Every structure is written in structure tokens, then in C-alpha cells.
Amino acid sequence: MDFVSIVRVALRALTRNKMRSILTMLGIIIGVGAVIAMVGVGQGANEQVQARIAAMGSNLLIIQAGSRQAGVVRVGWGATKTLVPGDEAAMLKEIPLVQSAAAGTMSHQQVISDDNNWGTSIQGTEPSYFDIRNFTFDQGTSFTAQDVQLANNVAVLGTTVYLNLFPDGSDPVGKTIRIKNLPFTVVGSLVPKGQSGMGQDQDDNVYIPYTTLQKKISGQSWLGNISVSAASKDVTDTVSQQITNLLHARHRIRPGQGDDFTVHNLSDIADVANAASSVMTILLASIASVSLLVGGIGIMNIMLVSVTERTREIGIRMAVGATESDVKRQFIIEALVLASIGGVIGILFGLAVSWLISSIAHWPVDVSVISIVVAAVFSAGIGIFFGFYPAKKAANLDPIEALRFE
């Protein structure tokens, strides 16, 4: 018989016991659907983490002042006084792969408007910082390089601060806020960025010129950090090493001495997060695949029952000229059809579950075409694999004994 005829006979055999066939396919349906939904959840979570890390800035490296020891007490990161504006200037001048840089320092202060106040982080920085971190302005604009040079009292508000100081939603640009009893003119507010990849609220900040923070609020002459944008993501490791070598020379750090700074490469953080998400996706898919295995065992069980029920039919076919290969192919295709129909329904089931997860739980779900194709191929493979033994058993039946079977 040709392939089409074999498939037609297989469908006829399966429809004789509709309920049994449906129950057999149920394992494949649940397995394929679970694999698609779990892989979609894993990929969606990975993309969300990557997006949050990318939102922190393009090709970003953060050079942070190191720790220091006062007697027997070790003071934490950011406590050294060796990171200075001259280091930033040297990076821009001597490392061609450094696209831009922004000096930074920080203080926690209470910010007061006419009727409201809010405790937040005061970030001293430069205008280039907003480009490095991919910040977009909702209202107004950034302060200028001249504001940094003159240490002017100007401020840019993050969304969280803006909503707490101006809950009525009024335009903050041109209004006055007070930081440590000093009046600051608001020149702009930012579009919300949400949480960073490390769970920090990127909108709960006020940005002012770092010179203003140093001279009028903190009294410090050193920097807490320098944000650097490399020319591309591919060269961030090279830039990180070049910055390390430059600061070793500028800070006179001899071989064997501990660094008084730390270079954080966000590309490395993204790679680690991607690896962790991939492991979680594989784990979820592996757990869901157990259902496919159970479905395959169900197919084998039903096909063995079918061989027993159709022993006389098999004997008749062999008596009229069917070969062992014909019988074997017949039962393998029946198992394949059973698994394939279950796989198609399972794909639809998986897409529906993914949509429900996204709509009800509001989890990010990304169902890729590759996961659908793999699930479909895998379900067909399950049918062939678990249908082979029953098919071989049917093909090995003795035609004389099969004809005598009642």
C-alpha cells in the first residue's frame, strides 16, 4: 500500500475506539502544551532581565571607588578618596574606545517642595550621564556643562521623586525645591525607567551637577564612581582592562597591591543573567517533557493492545501477501498519526496556556517558532519510538497462528 492508503487505514483504526484514542493522545497534548508554555515563560523572563540590564545603559562600565581600612575597621566600597575628576579626563584622552564618561558622586538627602518632601538619593553627575544611561526626558531638559563648571543649583527629577513632590502632576520645570536647605531650580524630569536588573528603582533619584554636590552638600573633593560608555559591547572587556591599567598607573598601585577601585562590566552581568535564565528554561522544559514521556508510554500500551485485538486481521493481511515490512510500517504510522494529532492539539493548547499566563499572571511570555517546531518534531519522534516495539511485535506474528487466533 502507498503512504496515503496506510494513513487512511490508520485513521480508520483509530476512530474505531474514539475515547481510547483521545485518552491516549491526552498525554502528548499535555506534554507538548507544557513544554511550549514553560519554554515561553523561561524565554520571556530572560528577555525581561536582559531588557532591564540594557536599560541601565549601553555598553556601560562603572568604575567605583574601592574600600579602605581605618585601623582594624574595614570601610565599604566607595570609601576611598583616590578616584578623582582627573581620572575621568585621562580615560577620555588616553583610551580611544571610551566613547563618553560621566563623573559621579552620591548623597542621601531629604528633598522638599512647597507642600511635600521625599527622602531620596542625590546623584551628582554630568550631562553625558543621561546619554550613557539611555535616559529620556519627559519634561524639560538636562543641566549643562556650564552648570557643572559653575556648580549651579539645578536639578533633574526621577519619576518617583517627581510624583512624590508634585502629586498633582503639574509641570515641575522652573519650580524650586530645597536640598539641605539650599534652593534648586528644576530643569527637567525623566521618563520612567523602572527597576534595574539588580532590583533598584532607577526613578528614585535627583540628579544635580557633581560639582554642586561636592562643594555645597557633601564637602568631598573625590568621586564615588565614573560611568563609562564603550564604543560597542564587543570591546567592553578590552576597555575594562585598559581602564584598570590606566588607574594602576595614575594611582601608583604596584604589583601585588590591592586595587583602590572596582570596574563593573554590565555585559558580564548580562551574560551571567542569560546563563542563569537558560538553565532555568531548560529545567522547566525538562520537567514538562516528563509528560511527553508518559504520553509515549501510553501510546506503546495502546498499540500493544491494538496488536492483540487485531491479531486475526494481521494474519489475514499476511495471508493475502502483506510482508513483515508492510505490517510494521502500518503500526508505526498509526502510532505516528496518534502522536502527531496529539502534537498539533498540544501546540494549540500550549499557545492558549501561554496567553492565559501572560493575561492573568502578567508574566512575560515569549513563544518562539523554534520551540513550536521542536515540540512538533519531538511529539512525532515519540510516536515513532514508542510505536516501534508494538509494530515489530505485530510483524513477527506467525500468519498461521494469527489466523487461528480468536
Q: Higher-confidence residue: 214 or 31?
A: 214
pLDDT of 73 reads: 42
What is the average pLDDT value for the chain, to the nearest integer?
84
pLDDT tens figures, 198-211:
557 889 999 999 99
Estimate the share of the chain in helix, then strand, then coil, as percent rounded to the nearest 5: 55, 20, 25
Residue type, 272: V
Residue 78: which pLDDT band, with cuts at 50, 70 and 90? Answer: low
352 CB-near residues (< 8 Å, 6+ apart): 33
Q: Which residue has the cell 528577555?
A: 47
Q: Measuring CA to CA, how many Å separate 190 from each of 4, 163, 202, 213, 390?
A: 64, 11, 10, 20, 67
Residue spans of alpha helices (H) in 17-84 = 18-55
92 vs 99: CA distance, rounded Å: 8
How many Å separate Cα 112 from the centre of its chain?
Answer: 38
The helix (run of H) or strand (run of E) holding residue 233 is none
For the ranges 4-13, 76-85, 233-242, 355-364, the maximum mean pLDDT occurs at 233-242
Dihedral sign for Cα atoms in the order 21, 27, 30, 36: negative
Q: Full-prediction pTM beyond 0.95?
A: no
Q: Measuring CA to CA, how many Å separate 88 from each of 55, 93, 116, 227, 263?
A: 23, 9, 37, 9, 13
357 vs 300: CA distance, rounded Å: 32
Residue 77, pLDDT above cutoff 60: no
Virtual torsion, Cα 159, 163, 164, 167, nearest 10 deg: 170
Nearest CA among 21, 104, 14, 48 for reference residue 280: 48
Q: Measuring CA to CA, how many Å separate 207 from each of 82, 124, 195, 203, 404?
A: 23, 6, 17, 11, 91
Q: Higher-confidence residue: 46 or 36?
A: 36
Q: Higher-confidence residue: 51 or 351?
A: 351
**Can you tell me the mean pLDDT for 83-102?**
93
For 405, phi then psi, to 5°, come to -70, 135
Residue 68, pLDDT above cutoff 80: no
What is the Cα gyration radius of the chain?
Answer: 34
Q: Higher-confidence residue: 135 or 13?
A: 135
pLDDT of 74 reads: 47
